[in-house]
Amino acid sequence: MGAAKERTLSIIKPDATRRNLTGKINSKFEDGGLKIVGQKRLQLTQTQAEKFYEVHKERPFFGDLVKFMVSGPVVVQVLEGPDAVAANRKIMGATNPANADAGTIRKEFAESIEANSVHGSDSLDNAKREINFFFAETEIVA
């Protein structure tokens, strides 16, 4: 039995859109066996960013994180493939680029632990919640 097909939410963060890295980052997902089945470029509002990162609202970096996420455009996307949640996290690399494995997006492109180029859902439940946050079912086409 092969790995289950899943969907996960990816966000290309403002540090990466500012440096025109969306294509290079998306090549990593595609080369890693994930398919981009939904995609849009957005300017997040303060309210949207606060709501999206609500789970981190007690963390000391919450205010700075929200400020960073509204500092420029983001690309929100749905990635689909075998074990997509875990596969995406592996392609992204560790939160802190200093700890990220060679070849990962964060190792190659992240500027700092905060400006770390990409977001990826951390569980299948959160993936569903996060996909629904940004996408209607009709906007996802496999």
Binding site for Mg ion (CB under 5 A): 122
| Using rule CB under 6 A, residue 113 touches ligand IDP | yes
- The residues in 76-95 that bind ligand IDP, with binding defined as CB under 6 A, are 95
Q: Which of 78, 83, 100, 119 binds ligand IDP (CB under 6 A)?
A: 119
Largest CA distance in the chain: 44
Which of 2/60 has CB closer to ligand IDP? Answer: 60
Render 55-99 in DSSP notation, one character per residue: GGTTSTTHHHHHHHHTSS-EEEEEEEEETHHHHHHHHH--SSGGG
Residue 78, beta-bridge partner list: 9, 38
> CA 102 to CA 110: how far, in whole Å?
12
**Interface stretch with ligand IDP, choices 22-30, 71-79, 109-117, 128-136 (CB under 6 A):** 109-117
- Contacts with ligand IDP by CB under 6 A lie at 56, 61, 65, 95, 113-114, 116, 119, 122
Residues annotated as catalytic are: 119
